[in-house]
Chain A
Amino acid sequence: MTGGAQPASVVVIGAGQGGQQTAVSLREHGYQGRITLISGEDALPYERPPLSKTYLKDGAYLRGDKQLWLRPATYYVNQSIDLVAGTVTGIDRTARAVRLADGSSYEYGHLVLATGARARTLGVPGAGLRGVHTLRTVRDAAALGASLAAARRAVVLGAGFIGLEFAAVARESGCEVTVVETRSRPLARVVSARAAAHFTRLHREAGTHLLFGQGVAALHGDRRGKVAAVETADGRQLPADLVLFGVGAAPHTELAAAAGLPVDDGITVDARLLTADPHISAIGDCASFPAPRTGGRLRLESVQNAVGHGRLVAERLTGSLRAYDELPWFWSRQFSTTLQIAGVDERPDREVVLGDDPDAFSVLLFRGNELRAVESVNRPGDHIAARRLLHRRVPLSPAGATAPGFTLKGYLTGASTG
């Protein structure tokens, strides 16, 4: 226990998965003060991962957002969690209050910034045409789904996870699909070249056109203001009746910056996810936190990270002294292929590949003699074993991983019993 009193009230800005989890976990840990969860969206808190996958398939989006709700409306009532729809315009750190656009304000004992991130776009002519989308919210997904239902030719700008997941869904629904990416391969900063090559093949075999090393000059519309073509940097015209920007996300840090809190790539927090103000935490996509295992700082856009952060802050506010040290993990599903990543490392220097099947393998990423991350393509067993190995920090070197008959599961079992 910290010995410090629990705050009389907690205000959470942002009702995404991290913000919602903070509220849920506070109640689970017996917190009895007032909880206000402020949402900038007009939906109950919901799951985001399906938005680029199943929610767009077979008209699922037409059935509405209820299928994605994290909890029913009655939950928030029963748990005395005040869900407030509104836009926060400022934080008064002296008065410990947040102001909303409608003139209302909420005082806080502790404030949690769970403001998330916004989809980036490109500053190219025509970006505002009808039929041009970003994908972040359930409302975005509904608009994209409706557009997809009528589309014949989709162009996806950016070969990151959102772009490729949507490209797969669009292809499966019969669209002609082109993905334009400025880098030389897909998922350039997030997976190994080996895993990226697999996804390149997967999409090409499905008939998707992938243009790498190619920028975008402009989007052109028809007379009615609807997108009709994408002009690439080298002057090619790609006909399109649907365009999706899949060029990453930018953290919402404006409120924090305006309140004088340190902001770098995200809102700067310490190992307990506290900002420079002891009455304010930041979590999830918007937070830049010390990497617990590898040093340096991390800002991650994933459900696991948001939910893990939310749980930690709730524990801290109810007396725990734990520092954040969850192992990051992530997954993507494209066509019938599942990619799972355990751990994170941006600059591994050694790789070991497990598995002879070109459609089912794992890439072990090392820095020196230390296992840092494991990417598994259609190998869920490897992923789970990797999560356990990395979580427990079981030492594994490239030499160990290339020993005859090596498997992650076997190694884990040996490490547990031996």
Chain B
Amino acid sequence: MPKITYITVDGTERVIDVPVGTSVMRGAVLNDVPGIVAQCGGNAQCATCHVYVDEATLDKPEPVRPDEDDMLGFTADPRKEGSRLSCQLQVTEDLDGLIVHLPERQY
């Protein structure tokens, strides 16, 4: 199962096995990783599951699609390189080793 590392604002690291077919957002929510709100439930509607993909693993996820791109203009913390909506990061074997940083605020 792909291992995903979540790093919270205070620097705490959690490495979680997230099943293929779910999302990076759901991996966080179901494992009690703080810092992801996911108000709309994974529909790219609310921008409250914003994460920063670590520079070292930027090549792992699929590129941003247009609707996600639009929503990324609505995040509470600034958009940067590596900004993604974690609900749109579908977990595949390619995502093994992905590192994401959680922002300070989601709304």
> A residues bordering B, Cβ < 8 Å?
47, 49-50, 66-72, 74-75, 78, 303-304, 307, 311, 329, 331, 333, 338, 340, 380-381, 383-384, 387-388
Contact = CB atoms under 8 A, between A and B. Distances in A.
B70 A381 contact: yes
The 3 A-B pairs of least Cβ separation, nearest first, read: A47-B41, A381-B70, A380-B70
A304 B39 contact: yes
A136 B46 CA distance: 22
A387 B74 contact: yes
A67 B18 CA distance: 13
Contacts of A338: 67
A75 to B, nearest CB: 5
B31 interface: yes
Contacts of B44: 380
B104 to A, nearest CB: 13
Interface string B32-69: 10000001110111100000000000000000001100
Contacts of B45: 329, 331, 340
Contacts of B66: 380-381
Contact of A303 (B40, B70, B74): B40
Interface of B: 22, 26, 29-32, 39-41, 43-46, 66-67, 70-71, 73-74, 107
B32 A50 contact: no
A71 B37 CA distance: 10
A383 B46 CA distance: 11
A304 B47 CA distance: 12
B43 A331 contact: yes
B70 A72 contact: no
A72 B30 contact: yes
Contact of A67 (B26, B67, B74): B26
A50 B41 contact: yes
B60 to A, nearest CB: 23
A78 B39 contact: no
Q: Which of B43, B44, B66 has the most CB of A within 10 A?
A: B43
A80 B59 CA distance: 40
Given A380-B70, A384-B71, A384-B73, A71 B29 contact: yes
B86 to A, nearest CB: 15
A303 B29 contact: no
Contacts of A67: 22, 26
A70 B37 CA distance: 9
Given A380-B67, A380-B71, A388-B74, A49 B30 contact: no
Contacts of B67: 338, 380
A49 B71 contact: no
B107 to A, nearest CB: 8
Given A75-B32, A380-B66, A68 B74 contact: no
Contact of B40 (A69, A75, A331): A331
Nearest to B73: A384
B61 to A, nearest CB: 19
Contacts of A380: 44, 66-67, 70-71
A331 B41 CA distance: 12
B32 A307 contact: no
B77 to A, nearest CB: 16
9 contacts: A67-B22, A69-B30, A70-B29, A303-B40, A329-B45, A331-B43, A380-B44, A380-B71, A383-B70
Nearest to A77: B32
Given A74-B32, A75-B32, A78-B32, A68 B41 contact: yes
A384 B70 contact: yes
B41 A49 contact: yes
Contacts of B46: 304
Contacts of A381: 66, 70
Contacts of A75: 32
Contacts of B31: 72
Contacts of B29: 69-72
B71 A66 contact: no
